[in-house]
């Protein structure tokens, strides 16, 4: 696919138009509610390993661009490489180019029956909470944390890096965003399903639910109309769903619920991960193996 890029002034001060700058490589192609994404190569600078996301939804584009510009220098987020709007006579799509940051964690989990080791569950939870805290400190909430928007990639040093993507629904944390649409989903908190204003704690709850996917544990079923009632049941006693080795997940959920009224505390939240097993370091690298050139998390 040949695309035209209008070089924006943030990257090229001349504002010239270059035809066919970004060429699709065929390594990746994805379609989502907010647009399409492709793996591309920059034919001018010779850069590979790029993802071009195209959308016709201006609000989604503006939200994503706002967050990427704020987070591009932080670990755990894609690097904003370029952004531009295609002329109306060529389609009028709004485009964002970022670095490729790996595979969706759901895709990776499917290679091991959607099951990760207990140690890796805690490592992933720690890294995900840390990355979300970074986003929140910059004043944004994600509002759509699920297994397609959390990526893992093996870095040159062999360490698996976790990244968060897709900020088309993101908004500033303050004032707390009131829902402009029904965000009920498997990964949404009970409060979101109840149509309450969105807070950082809803991102954290979604992160907890994501980790539960890879136990694997599914207390919410598969019917959207049943999610709220089942989340209400779960909320009454989250500990009944976990064995002794996984009680820390229920502990995280309960602490997040408590902090909705007492206020955010990094120490109280992360101490659950640090202290649950004093002999285990939740910051240690995620363990994995490569089989037939595919990443498999233990």
* pLDDT value of position 28: 86
Question: Does residue 268 share a domain with residue 136?
Answer: yes
Q: How far apart are the first and last CA of the chain?
A: 37
* pLDDT value of position 7: 35
Question: Does residue 95 share a domain with residue 107?
Answer: no
User: Mean pLDDT throughout 148-165?
Assistant: 97
SS3 143: coil
User: Mean pLDDT throughout 56-76?
Assistant: 94
SS3 297: strand
The H-assigned helical ranges of 138-199 are: 190-193
Which tokens in the block code for residue 270?
């992360």
Is the Cα dihedral 3, 72, 175, 256 positive or negative? Answer: positive
- Give the model confidence (pLDDT) of 99-154 as tens digits: 999 999 999 999 999 999 999 999 999 999 999 999 999 999 999 999 999 999 99
Question: Does residue 138 share a domain with residue 77?
Answer: no
Q: Please check the confidence at residue 3 and state whether its pLDDT lies above 80.
A: no
* pLDDT value of position 6: 34
- Give the model confidence (pLDDT) of 232-244 as tens digits: 999 999 999 999 9
CA angle, 61 as apex, 55 and 63 as ends, to 5°?
A: 150
* pLDDT value of position 15: 30
Q: Please check the confidence at residue 180 and state whether its pLDDT lies above 60.
A: yes
- Give the model confidence (pLDDT) of 282-297 as tens digits: 999 999 999 999 999 9
Question: Does residue 45 share a domain with residue 193?
Answer: no
* pLDDT value of position 84: 86
Question: Does residue 205 share a domain with residue 87?
Answer: no
Q: Which residue has the higher pLDDT, 50 or 28?
A: 50
Q: Indicate the residue among 99, 117, 149 that finishes a domain.
A: 99
Q: Indicate the residue among 99, 122, 151 that finishes a domain.
A: 99
Q: Please check the confidence at residue 18 and state whether its pLDDT lies above 70.
A: no
* pLDDT value of position 75: 95
Question: Does residue 194 share a domain with residue 71?
Answer: no
- Reported as half-sphere exposure (CB side, CA atoms, 13 A), residue 121 has a value of 21
Treating both helix axes as pointing N-terminal to C-terminal, what angle do 200-213 and 118-137 enclose, rounded to 10 degrees?
Answer: 160
Q: Please check the confidence at residue 36 and state whether its pLDDT lies above 80.
A: yes
Question: Does residue 229 share a domain with residue 122?
Answer: yes
CATH code: domain of residue 64: 3.30.200.20
Percent of residues, the chain, with pLDDT higher than 90: 82
Least confident of 31-45, 155-169, 212-226: 31-45
Q: Please check the confidence at residue 1 and state whether its pLDDT lies above 50.
A: no
SS3 273: helix
User: Mean pLDDT throughout 52-67?
Assistant: 93
Which tokens in the block code for residue 213?
């996917």
Tokens 């201006």 correspond to what residue?
A: 58
Could you give the CA distance from residue 173 to residue 47 in angstroms, rounded to a whole number?
35
| Structural domain boundaries, residue 201 | 103-297
pLDDT confidence bin for 35, thresholds 50/70/90: confident
Q: How many domains does the chain have?
A: 2
Q: Which residue has the higher pLDDT, 282 or 86?
A: 282
Q: Please check the confidence at residue 69 and state whether its pLDDT lies above 90.
A: yes
* pLDDT value of position 26: 85
Q: Indicate the residue among 54, 72, 99 that finishes a domain.
A: 99
SS3 172: strand
Question: Does residue 108 share a domain with residue 69?
Answer: no
Question: Does residue 178 share a domain with residue 64?
Answer: no
* pLDDT value of position 19: 65
Question: Does residue 127 share a domain with residue 71?
Answer: no
Percent of residues, the chain, with pLDDT higher than 70: 94
Strand order in the sheet with 35-42: 2-6, 17-32, 35-42, 50-55, 94-99, 80-85
Q: Which residue has the higher pLDDT, 242 or 3?
A: 242
Give me the chain's average pLDDT, please. Answer: 91
Question: Does residue 286 share a domain with residue 240?
Answer: yes
Question: Does residue 140 share a domain with residue 187?
Answer: yes
CATH code: domain of residue 259: 1.10.510.10
User: Mean pLDDT throughout 190-212?
Assistant: 98
């Amino acid at each position: 696919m040949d695309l035209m890029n209008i070089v924006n002034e943030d990257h090229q001060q001349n504002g010239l138009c270059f035809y066919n700058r970004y060429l699709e490589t065929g390594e990746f192609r994805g379609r989502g509610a907010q647009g399409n994404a492709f793996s591309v190569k920059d034919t001018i600078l010779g850069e590979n390993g790029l993802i071009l996301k195209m959308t016709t939804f201006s609000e989604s584009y503006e939200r994503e661009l706002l967050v990427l510009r704020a987070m591009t220098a932080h670990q755990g987020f894609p690097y904003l490489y370029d952004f531009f709007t295609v002329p109306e006579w060529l389609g009028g799509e709004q485009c964002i180019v970022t670095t490729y940051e790996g595979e969706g964690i759901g895709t990776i989990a499917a290679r091991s029956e959607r099951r990760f080791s207990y140690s890796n569950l805690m490592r992933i939870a720690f890294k995900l909470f840390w990355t979300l805290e970074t986003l929140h400190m910059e004043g944004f909430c994600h509002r759509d944390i699920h297994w397609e928007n959390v990526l893992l990639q093996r870095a040159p040093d062999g360490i698996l890096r976790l990244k968060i993507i897709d900020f088309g629904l993101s908004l500033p944390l303050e004032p707390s965003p009131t829902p402009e649409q029904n965000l009920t989903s498997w990964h949404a908190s009970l409060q979101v399903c109840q149509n309450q204003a969105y807070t950082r704690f809803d991102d954290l709850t979604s992160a907890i639910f994501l980790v539960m996917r890879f136990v694997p544990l599914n207390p919410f079923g598969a019917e959207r109309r049943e999610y709220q009632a089942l989340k209400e049941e779960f909320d009454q006693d989250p500990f009944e769903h976990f064995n002794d080795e996984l009680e820390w997940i229920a502990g995280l959920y309960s602490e997040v619920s408590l902090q909705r009224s007492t206020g955010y505390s990094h120490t109280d939240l992360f101490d659950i991960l640090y202290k649950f097993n004093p002999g285990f370091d939740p910051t240690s690298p995620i363990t994995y193996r490569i089989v037939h050139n595919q990443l498999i998390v233990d």
